[in-house]
Amino acid sequence: MLSRHFLRAKVLQEVYAYYCSEKTSVLSSEKSLTHNIERLNDLGITQIAMALQLLTEAERVTEEATQKFIATESERNPDRRLLENEFARRITDNYDFKKQSEHTVGLWEGEQSRFRKAFSTFKESKQYKDYMTSKQSFAADKDIFLKLFRFLMNDEGLRTTVVERSLLWEDDFDQVAQYEFMTLKALDEANFNEATPWPKVYDDRSETEREAVDFAVKLLRDTLCNAEESNDIIKSHLKGWEFERVAQMDIYLLDMALAELQHCPSIPERVTVDEYIELSKEFSTDRSRLFINGLLDRLILELRSAGKIVKTGRGLYQADFDEKREEE
């Protein structure tokens, strides 16, 4: 399931792209946002397919070793436990996964050497050696697949192979990998079979997830359509700073925050401020956190007094700012 924080980051990427592109259509930006969110499913499936491909390449390596003219005993009679991993087999046989992973066909052409190197490295790990000497079970097969998946998500060469398919996938890679890891971890031996629906990063069949994406699209639209007014508000509160000298990413973050404060009545002010402080840590400068926090505090007091911030439901929570006002 997509978190609001992750969706705000996706909106920030689109805001940045909007101002860096010659095409300045809000509608095209909205379409781009929804397209990139939907493509997160492709990224997640590709990451899991990567782990399955390593096992396929490991099978080839093992078979080649048995054909050596002078093969060792272990090469002639290899332990095929990892290659016959039951958990991996169930993923491969899952109807929904097979359908969703069709786009990965041919993706790994020319990458055999990277998979072979990764397999060789993984074979030397304590995790692999412990697995090969442990009692055979579905739980053990699942555990080693999870460890293999995590190992591959940190392989720079294979990671590059994946992110080259989409410019935005590099920013999304770790977040989606974490989601897929939790998805794999949740698969249960008793209920996981070929007919089990494969979980999606973004499932448009879920009303909750559709609402979350609608929030992101609305935030993008409100940010872009009200940017001029937001920038005027920001300029009026800059003390000792020229607007042109403020980091551009900070302006984008402030524009988004102002749009959310004024056009998302159910989201508490404190939640909005905290979210954009966190985003500034991820996407802007070291000093941005303090700058954005201080400026938003002042802007909220003014906008609330002018009746431009009206909160409803859980958005009525304003304790932090009420306390600041009393102190002043």
pLDDT at residue 232 above 60? yes
Percent residues over pLDDT 70 in the chain: 92
Distance from C-alpha of 236 to C-alpha of 56, rounded to nearest angstrom: 61
Query: Which DSSP letter does residue 304 get?
Result: H
Does 162 have pLDDT greater than 50? yes
Residue for token pair 């494969």: 198
Task: Map out the domains of the chain with their CATH numbers.
Answer: 4-186 (no CATH), 226-327 (1.10.940.10)
Read off the pLDDT of residues 29-57 as tens digits, 9 standing for 90 and up: 999 999 999 999 999 999 999 999 999 99
Q: How confident is the model at residue 205 (pLDDT cuts 50, 70, 90)?
A: confident
| The pLDDT value given to residue 188 | 93
Element (H, E) at 280: helix 269-283
Q: Tell me which residue of 312, 100, 113, 78 sits closest to 197, measured CA to CA.
A: 100
DSSP class per residue in 206-265: -HHHHHHHHHHHHHHHHHHHTHHHHHHHHHHT-SS--GGGS-HHHHHHHHHHHHHHHH-T
- Give the pLDDT of residue 21: 81
Pick from 203, 174, 242: nearest CA to 1: 203
Mean of pLDDT values over 237-257: 89
Name which residue leads in pLDDT, 165 or 272.
Answer: 272
Nearest to 7 by CA among 228, 233, 296, 218: 218
pLDDT in tens, 259-276: 999 999 999 999 999 999
Tell me: the pLDDT tens digits for 18-30?
A: 998 865 799 999 9
Q: Is the pLDDT reported for residue 73 higher than 80?
A: no
> CA dist 15 to 91, 221, 223, 250, 271, Å?
37, 9, 8, 12, 21
Angle at CA 197, nearest 5°, toward 194 and 203?
Answer: 155
CA neighbor of 298 nearest in space, from 321, 266, 268: 321
Rounded to an integer, the average pLDDT of 125-137 is 94
C-alpha neighbours within 13 Å on the C-beta side of residue 307:
0
Tell me 135's DSSP state: P
Please answer whether residues 124 and 163 qualify as being in contact, where contact means their C-beta atoms are separated by less than 8 angstroms. Answer: no
Q: What is the pTM of this model?
A: 0.83
pLDDT at 193: 94
**Spatial CA neighbour of 248 closest among 300, 296, 283, 197:** 283
